[in-house]
Amino acid sequence: MGPARAERLARLGLRTARDILFLFPRDFEHPAPEADVADLCEGIAASLVGTITDAELVSRTPGRSLFAAIVENPTGAVRILFFNQPFRAEQLTLDRRVLISGVPKMHGLRMEFTHPKVTILDDEEDMPRPRILPVYPLTEGVKQSDLRRLAAETTRILAGSLTEVMPEHLRRQSGEFLRSHGIDFAGDLPGIETALRWLHEPADESALVAARMRLVFQELLVMQLALAMRRRKLTTDLRAPSLESSAMIDARIVNRFPFELTGDQRRAIDEIRHDMARQFPMNRLLQGDVGSGKTVVAVYAMMLAVANRHQAVLMAPTEVLTRQHYETLSTTLAASRVRIGLLCGSLTGKQRREVVAATAAGEIDLLIGTQALLYSEVEFKQLGLCVIDEQHKFGVRQRVMLRSGGVDPHYLVMSATPIPRSIAMTMFGDVDLSTLREKPPGRGSVRTYLAQDGWKDRWWGFVRERIDEGRQAFVVAPRVAATTSDDTDDAEDASSVEAVFEQLCNGPLSEYRVGLLHGRMPHSDKQAIMESFASGRLQVLVSTTVIEVGIDVPNATVMTILGAQRFGLAQLHQLRGRISRGSHTGHVCVFTDGEDSPQENERLKVFEQTEDGFDLAEADFSLRGPGDLLGKKQSGLPPMRIADLNRDIEILVAARSLAQQMIDEDPELAAEDLAELRHQIMHRYGKRLELGDVV
Q: Is 536 left (phi over 0), alpha (psi -120 to 50) or beta?
A: left
Q: Which of 423, 488, 463, 430 is nearest to 631 (CA)?
A: 423
C-alpha distances in angstroms, 469 versus 183, 509, 589? 56, 15, 18
**3-class DSSP string for 489-511:** CHHHHHCEHHHHHHHHHCCCCCC
User: Would you say residue 198 has pLDDT above 50?
Assistant: yes
Amino acid 407: pLDDT: 76
Do the Cβ atoms of 202 and 211 come closer than 8 Å? Answer: yes
Among residues 694, 648, 647, the alpha carbon closest in space to that of 221 is found at 648
- Identify whether the C-beta of residue 447 lies closer than 8 Å to the C-beta of residue 586: yes
Taking alpha carbons only, the member of 388, 364, 299, 314 closest to residue 344 is 314
pLDDT of residue 404: 53
Question: Other C-beta atoms within 10 Å of 195: how many?
Answer: 23
Strand, coil or helix: 515? strand
**How many Cβ atoms from other residues are within 10 Å of residue 618's Cβ?**
20
Query: Whole-angstrom Cα distance, residue 362 to residue 378?
Result: 12
Q: pLDDT for 227-236, tens place per residue?
A: 999 888 877 7
Q: How far is CA 365 from CA 57, 317, 361, 495, in A?
A: 89, 21, 10, 45
The DSSP 8-state label assigned to residue 479 in this structure reads: B
129 φψ region: left (φ > 0), alpha (ψ -120 to 50), beta (else): beta
Q: Coil, helix or strand for 417?
A: coil
- Concatenated DSSP letters of 64-132: EEEEEEEEEETTEEEEEEEES-TTHHHHS-TT-EEEEEE-EEEETTEEEEES-EEEEE-TTPPPPPP--
Give the whole-angstrom CA distance, residue 457 versus residue 220.
Answer: 53
Q: pLDDT digit string (tens) for 206-228?
A: 999 999 999 999 999 999 999 99
- Minimum mean pLDDT range among 26-40, 459-473, 605-619: 605-619
Examine the pLDDT at 390 and tell me if it is beyond 80.
no
Q: What is the mean pLDDT of residues 629-644?
A: 62
pLDDT at 375: 64
Mean pLDDT calculated for residue range 75-93: 93
Cα separation, 207 vs 213, in Å, equals 10
Least confident of 161-175, 182-196, 537-551: 537-551
Question: Using CA atoms, how far apart are residues 83 and 61, in angstroms rounded to an integer?
Answer: 12
Instruction: Give dist(CA 325, CA 315) in Å, integer.
Output: 10
The residue among 164 and 441 whose pLDDT is bigger is 164
Compute CA distances 117 → 68, 113, 134, whole Å: 14, 9, 16
Q: Given this model, what pLDDT does residue 318 score?
A: 78
Domains of the chain: 3-26+145-217 (no CATH), 31-131 (2.40.50.140), 247-436 (3.40.50.300), 446-610 (3.40.50.300)
Mean pLDDT of the chain: 86
Q: Which residues contact 74 (CB under 8 A, 6 or more apart)?
A: none
User: pLDDT tens-digit profile of 394-413?
Assistant: 444 444 455 555 678 999 98
Mean pLDDT of 144-167: 94
Burial of 689 (0-12, 13-18, 19+ CB in 10 A): buried
Beta pairing, strands 46-61 & 97-102: antiparallel
Spatial separation of the C-alpha atoms in residues 695 and 692, rounded to whole Å:
9
Beta 383-389 vs 311-316: how paired, if at all? parallel
Nearest to 301 by CA among 407, 412, 393, 408: 412
Q: Average the pLDDT over 659-670 and give the result.
A: 94
User: What is the distance between the terminal CA atoms of the chain, rounded to a whole angstrom?
Assistant: 31
CA Rg value for the chain: 32
What is the predicted pLDDT for the residue at 688? Answer: 75
How many other C-beta atoms lie within 10 A of the C-beta of residue 267? 16
pLDDT in tens, 571-615: 888 889 888 777 788 999 999 887 777 777 888 998 998 888 888
Tell me how far apart the 2 most distant CA atoms of the chain are, in Å: 99
Pair 99, 118: CB distance under 8 Å:
yes
What pLDDT sits at residue 630?
42
3-state secondary structure of 580: coil
Q: How far, in Å, CA of 353 to CA of 288, rounded? A: 35
